[in-house]
Structure 1
């Protein structure tokens, strides 16, 4: 099997590839606005994020209810941090699997932002995806509150908050690194090079993405409750609407966007050698 792109003896020359990278998405693609497939993708992102928040926030509230000391509940009777992490990672696995062929299965503004920086989606698609994701998150949390208002209010509405004892810098760092792990996994799992050589990769792509979410939650739930998804943090804050949920909201936007940007740069320009390709092309033309 042919090797990946490698710099040849003469600058600007590369060995043959056994895969083809798709062309970069245009920065602004107005034609998308006239296609039903685009609006179908927006609907898919909205519904997927709604379901994601509905199931995961219910899991968080259920755990807090099951272990509430005031109700003489068993401290070990709930699903625990492990169960919450599985809920988040498992739902991402399910929803990415269901929507990947329709919208790409982003379900996260940070993922959309990273893919935009990697020229995988246009600016218009990226912005409207983020709007759909945030609206879906708000509606998902709204459903939880509508069905279990007393529990929702009593147990914090599943909102992300910086835990006591941790500084804002620690929380920001946790969100940056956690989102880097997620977006780096997304780029790796959807890399056309891997798809060309491992026929099972397109089928299993949702699995490493969901597992990355699971692992990050295990590490950062004690610090920030784990955001790594601005829509998840924003939707919970809007419906819960308490000061504590808004105090550190900026961490759950700035951190994920920085982490996504670093992951996009690392994968595209370091691992995939986009910088070397560009330099080689420049030398060749010169």
Structure 2
């Protein structure tokens, strides 16, 4: 029987290596993230709760991630409703946040920007699942259509107090630049980790998930086929976490990784798996 990752899996947090902790701290506070914990080398942010969703880590001799390399395309912050999306975007426009694009993806409405070190950020809301366009083979149709900006912003209420991201905001998905969409990608994400391929977008991007979601992880070759990995000490993605619903599900994953010859390490019960960009995927259960 083909292994499938826990259908109740959700993403936890994303960890970024940064050059300037102070500059990035100011940027993300302005964006609506709230500080949960802070030290001289690391800041943990929440988004509408005290659950970590973003970790910024400063290290010595960090260099900017070179262009045309693998790594983070964007991390995506999911708000609970269209009204919440209007609330967030309306306030970001008020402060002149560097929003660089937007799109209707048929299953979501999304806005895009980048932080001061070039890390991509998506802020989006999902359409109800019964409105997604699902093919007979289970794949979910996607596109980038013009967003209904006027319809969204008609829901913006300037009288609603701005205290940051609304309650219920989570890390919705991670989108990566990779070297190739090949057998190695399929083996790692689909056979070993146990995700489902939800969309093969024009043979240039795979959108993968657990439990029928449109995607928890995407991988594209838009930096060029054969793009190299960045230096180990470059800015950008260090790790991201995936929360499983039970110890039993975590053990099932562990056994499948062993069966598929994918190495991992264990730290206090958490599984650390290196993805194909040499970032840590950290699997654990919610305490």
The alignment's TM-score, normalised by the length of structure 1, stands at 0.21
Richer in helix (by share): 1
More strand by proportion, 1 or 2?
A: 2
Answer with 1 or 2: which has the greater Rg.
1
